[in-house]
Amino acid sequence: MYAFNYHRPASVAEAVKILKASSDGRCLAGGMSLIPTMKHRLSSSSDLIDLNGIKELSYIRREGDQLVIGALARHVEIADSAEVKKSIPALAALAGGVGDPQVRNRGTFCGSLCFADPAADCPAGLVGLNGTVITDKRRIAADQFFEGLYETALEKGEIVTGVSFPIPEKAGWAKFANLASRYAIVAVMVAKTGGTARVAVTGAKASVFRVAEMEAALAKNFSAAALDGIKVSSAGMNGDLHGDPDYRANLVSVMAKRAVQAS
């Protein structure tokens, strides 16, 4: 780990101020991705702004037709939340399968979105459920949030304060975990709202993506059988020790069906 300045602001306004004043600052929520990369000296920041002192960011609540989750809500809280289980059980399932118990006790949904790891579960949750990222100054639609490998639409000095989700009629989550990291080799969130369907895939490419052909099929008939024969191309898919592009392409089809079955 390289040396850095540590801050623990008590409000979002104060956090934004410190972040803007820093030369290369980063926010810390659960730290389950950031701290390991810092320990490996793979990332360094001039300033670490610890959001854990901002109590108002710890919440999960229903606001009208939206489920809203604060930036400090831990995976375990989302997984165990009666409100989440009632509104969007697939989201509770996703949160309950992130990493391991230690990671879930500390890590946050919003922190994972900001980190934008290509194999993280949460990005598929955001995109598949058509959520909206709430920052200190604006709202960003799911489809506009991720811009590539570890890249998001967040501007310098902008802090995510929460995320909101419309309540789908049905949603399902299926993940095939890497045996080592328990990140997704491929995981899929599917959701049905009215006559539309969304299929969001993580782990397979540099960033989360939607599968239009599957969405069209599911919009007509929201069943696993509707996905029969729909293959995705392995072009552009990740290849590593744990899966080559062909294997990942296969898993997209398999996991999409299983997500529908789970919905």
Q: Which is nearer to other proteins, 60 or 119 (CB)?
A: 119
Cβ neighbours of 172 (radius 10 Å): 25
Q: Which is nearer to other proteins, 91 or 174 (CB)?
A: 174
Instruction: Report if residue 103 touches other proteins, rule: CB under 8 A.
Output: no
Stretch that binds other proteins, among 73-81, 132-140, 161-169, 237-245 (CB under 8 A): 237-245
Total residues at interface with other proteins (CB under 8 A):
23
**Position among 4, 59, 150, 247 found at the interface with other proteins (CB under 8 A):** 247
Tokens of 3: 């040396």
Nearest to 257 by CA among 220, 221, 234, 228: 228
DSSP H/E element including 92: helix 89-96
Tokens of 210: 């939607």
Tell me the torsion sign for CA atoms 128, 216, 254, 209. Answer: negative
Instruction: Report if residue 233 touches other proteins, rule: CB under 8 A.
Output: no
Instruction: Report if residue 242 touches other proteins, rule: CB under 8 A.
Output: yes
- Least gap, CB of 62 to other proteins (angstroms): 32
- H-only helix segments in 22-88: 34-39, 75-80, 82-87
Stretch that binds other proteins, among 17-25, 37-45, 67-75, 147-155 (CB under 8 A): 37-45
**In 3-state terms, what secondary structure has residue 26?**
strand
Question: Using CB under 8 A as the criterion, which residues of the chain lie in contact with other proteins when the complex forms?
Answer: 1-3, 39-41, 100, 176, 178-183, 185, 241-244, 247, 250-251, 254
